Amino acid sequence: MLDLGLPDLDGVEVCRRLRSTLPAVVIVMLTARSREMDVVVGLEVGADDYLTKPVSSSELVARIQAHLRRTEPSHTSWRSRSLGALVVDVASRRVTVAGEEVPLRRKEFDLLTRLVAEPGVAVTRETLMADVWDEHWHGSTKTLDVHVASLRRKLASVGADAPRIVTLRGHGYRLEADPTAARDQ
């Protein structure tokens, strides 16, 4: 977080230097300067976001969390992941269980990929909605439940070797599998 009104060096120059030396760092400018030209300059020199004071603390936290979510390592940084009999191939967007292909729709594949990224870990509904749909989704969160139900049916149809998606009431979902069986390729 960076204020533009710094005592020794202008915040714009600090932002420029930070961006050149640490290109992946998240920079949020929080300042009293609210003219359009100040905003434009701040964003052009490398700020990821620009907020003018006063700003509510909840908005500030939400914006920082949104930026941090986008900078976390992608759950698709791997080309293929095996989890027991389940194989998720991100490059070909293909899922197999015990060698049998499981045809999935786009969001079902994305949802399974997100769950396979952290087998055995409880993933909140909010995280799944943000990662699979996006943080600007305005539809019902029931779409998540519908996709999970469909994904469960499709995985179960190919045999008992498939990992299970467990509902964690009031929280989210967890992919039940032996995490030591996960292999990336």
Q: Which tens digit of pLDDT belongs to each residue from 109-121?
A: 999 999 998 888 9
Residue 173, pLDDT > 50, answer yes
Residue 125, pLDDT > 70, answer yes
Residue 160, pLDDT > 80, answer no
CATH 3.40.50.2300 domain residues, the chain: 11-71
Domain 11-71 homologous superfamily, CATH: Response regulator (3.40.50.2300)
**Among 17-26, 46-55, 82-91, 164-173, which is the least confidently predicted range?**
17-26
Q: What is the CATH number of domain 80-184?
A: 1.10.10.10
Give the separation between CA 74 and CA 31, rounded to whole angstroms.
31
Give the separation between CA 76 and CA 5, rounded to whole angstroms.
40
The stretch 6-34 carries a mean pLDDT of 86
Residue among 30, 33, 36, 37 at smallest CA distance from 15 = 30
Compute the mean pLDDT over every residue in the chain, rounded to the nearest whole number. Answer: 83
Termini Cα distance of the chain? 37
